[in-house]
Amino acid sequence: MKGKTFFITGASAGFGAACASIFAETGNRLVLTARRSDPLLALQRELAEKAEVHVMSLDVRDRQAVARAVESLPAPFRDIDVLINNAGLALGLEPAHKVDLDDWETMVDTNIKGLMYCTRLILPGMVERNRGHIINLGSVAGSWPYPGGNAYGGTKAFVEQFSLNLRCDLLGTRVRVTCIQPGMAETEFSKVRFKGDDKKAAQVYSGTEALTAEDIAETIHWVVNRPEHVNINTLELMSVDQAWGPFAIHRKK
């Protein structure tokens, strides 16, 4: 894929940063967004020789800010070909009756509402140009329940169904939509989930070969490089060190 414009949310770390690197091919233009601007500026410097990179500090939960960001894109970056709706997070692993309600709200605001804002503001241009691709980051947590997955899994189930419903609305256009559903991948994800507790985060991946951010970026690279008439609807991937467990049964003592 060459000569395309990418808009990537959550590009300051993990999957988003790896996507920026893999799509920094000759002739591509990248709009990299996240709340933290220092890592974005570092990426911009790193990729400067290969790609035109525009960075913007953006909190996807802020609807007006998302609108301003899209409206204020410099001319060469305005016609977005690929939107990677990647910004997202899990907070906590407590059972539902002990959860901090603010954490649930943050996950809904980021993983659902932020993704909707970016989609709604960027999609009309794609439809007008009759080309484009939206990549939404779902998760295995959207299909498979696990203890403590509560609202996080709920937000990712939304991402899957929203992605499929978008394709229904887009039938008759050449705009593609894909929901990528990774399992355990070693990024800043667990550090964020455990609110900066590095030890707890490291335990998640200890003794396993988890997916990497590069694995996800390569998968997305493959998805967007399919022939233009091919739409990958959903794509779920896991490390070989991860699988499903049996149903949990509570037994009376």
**Smallest distance from ligand NDP to CB 174, Å:** 26
Q: Give the type of residue at 85.
A: N
Q: 9 or 28, CB closer to ligand NDP? A: 9
Give the closest residue to 1 by CA, choosing from 225, 228, 226, 227.
225
Q: Look at residue 20 and give its three-state secondary structure.
A: helix
**CA distance linking residue 145 with residue 126, whole number of Å:** 34
Site of interaction with ligand 8X3 (CB under 6 A) = 139-141, 149, 183-184
Find the shortest distance in angstroms from Cβ 184 to ligand 8X3: 5
Closer by beta carbon to ligand NDP, 127 or else 238: 238
Q: How far apart are CA 231 and CA 98, in angstroms?
A: 41
Active site residue 146: no
Of the pair 143, 231, the CB lying nearest ligand NDP is at 143
Give which of ligand NDP, ligand 8X3, none residue 88 binds (C-beta under 5 to 8 Å, depending on kind). ligand NDP
Q: Which does 36 bind (CB under 5 to 8 A by kind): ligand NDP, ligand 8X3, none?
A: ligand NDP
The C-alpha atoms of residue 183 and residue 92 are separated, in whole angstroms, by 17
Least distance from ligand NDP to the Cβ atom of residue 132, Å: 20
Q: At 101, which amino acid appears?
A: L
Cα torsion for 103, 210, 13, 131, to the nearest 10°?
A: -100
Helix (H, G, I), strand (E, B) or coil at 25: coil
Whole-number minimum distance, CB 54 to ligand 8X3, in Å? 28
Residue keyed to tokens 């996950």 = 107
Of 10 and 149, CB closest to ligand NDP: 10
Q: Are strands 132-137 and 52-57 parallel, antiparallel or unpaired?
A: unpaired
Taking Cα atoms as reference points, which of 82, 18, 19 lies closest to residue 226? 82
From the list ligand NDP, ligand 8X3, none, partner contacted by residue 107 (C-beta under 5 to 8 A by kind): none
Q: Which does 87 bind (CB under 5 to 8 A by kind): ligand NDP, ligand 8X3, none?
A: ligand NDP
- Catalytic residue from among 117, 146, 152, 205: 152
Query: Do residues 3 and 27 lie in contact, with contact meaning Cβ atoms separated by under 8 Å?
Result: yes
CB of 206 to ligand 8X3, least distance (A): 14
* Gap between the Cα atoms of 227 and 223, Å rounded: 9
- Residue 108 or 184 with smaller CB distance to ligand 8X3: 184
- Residue 15 CA, distance from chain mean position: 7
Tell me the residue nearest to ligand 8X3 as measured from the CB: 139
Binding site for ligand NDP (CB under 6 A): 9-16, 34-36, 58-61, 86-89, 110, 114, 137, 139, 182, 184-185, 187-189, 192, 213
Please give the positions annotated as active site: 152
